[in-house]
Amino acid sequence: MIMKKMLMTLAAVLCCAMTISMFTACGGDDELPEPQTPQSQTPGEDDQSTVDPTTTPAIVKLEYFIENRADMLKYLDMVVKCSDGVKEYTSDTLTFDNVDDKYFFHMGVYSSELPASFKIWREVKVKEAYQDSVKNLDKFVFSTAIHYYYALYDKDNHKIGSILQDKYESLTYPTHQNNEMVNNYLNKLDILYGRVFELKFDKDGKKSQIMHRDN
C-alpha cells in the first residue's frame, strides 16, 4: 500500500514537471528575451589575488563585448573600432562566424597605465546585396549595447579587488515593428552607431563615461 502511494505521488510530480516544461517551452515567435550578459574572458590567474584593496592602483584593464542581433548580422556590414589612448584597433567585419551563440562579439582586452582613456564605436552600413530588399522589411531587431568589464591592478600587475561589469546602451527600444520604423532606423545608422563611447579613469582609478560624436 505504501509503495502504491509512493508511485502515485511520483507520477503526480512527473506530470506537474512535464506541464511546467510545456508552458516554459511554448512562447510566441515575437518574444525576444534579452541575451545573457557574456562572461569576462580576461585571463583568470589574477582573479585569486589577495592584494590589499587599499593598494595604489597603477593599471586598468578593460574588456569589451559588442551586443548584436541576428537581423544586424544578416543585413548590415559592421566593424568595431576602439582606442586605448595610444593605438587604434579595428575588428574584422562582424559575421555569424565570429560572434558567440548569443551574437556577442568579443572585442578583446585592453590595458593602460593610469590615468587612462578608452574609446569605442561602430561603423555600420547596409550590405550591398540588401540595399533594396531591406527597405521592405516590416520588422528589424537590433541593439546598440556595448558591455564591458574592467579591473584595477597595482604596478606589479596584481589585481586589486574584483572585476567590475557595466553596459552602455543608447536606445531602449530594440525592435521596430513596422516598415516606417525600420526605414527610420536604417536612415540613422551613422547617428546610432557612429557615436563614440569613452571611458576615462583618473590616476586613482575612478571611472567616468561620456558619449560624443568625434573619435
Condensed to tens digits (0 to 9), the pLDDT of residues 37-73 reads 677 766 444 444 445 666 899 999 999 999 999 999 9
Supply the pTM of this predicted model: 0.75
- Which is more confident, 167 or 147? 147
Q: CA gyration radius for the chain?
A: 23
Q: Read off the pLDDT band of 91 (50, 70, 90).
A: very high
Q: Quick one: 153 exposed, middle or buried, by C-beta within 10 A (0-12, 13-18, 19+)? A: buried
State the pairing for strand pair 76-83/196-201: unpaired
Kindly write down the DSSP assignment for every residue of 71-91, as one continuous string: HHHHHEEEEEEEE-SS-EEEP
CB atoms within 10 A of CB 69: 17
Average pLDDT for 167-192:
77
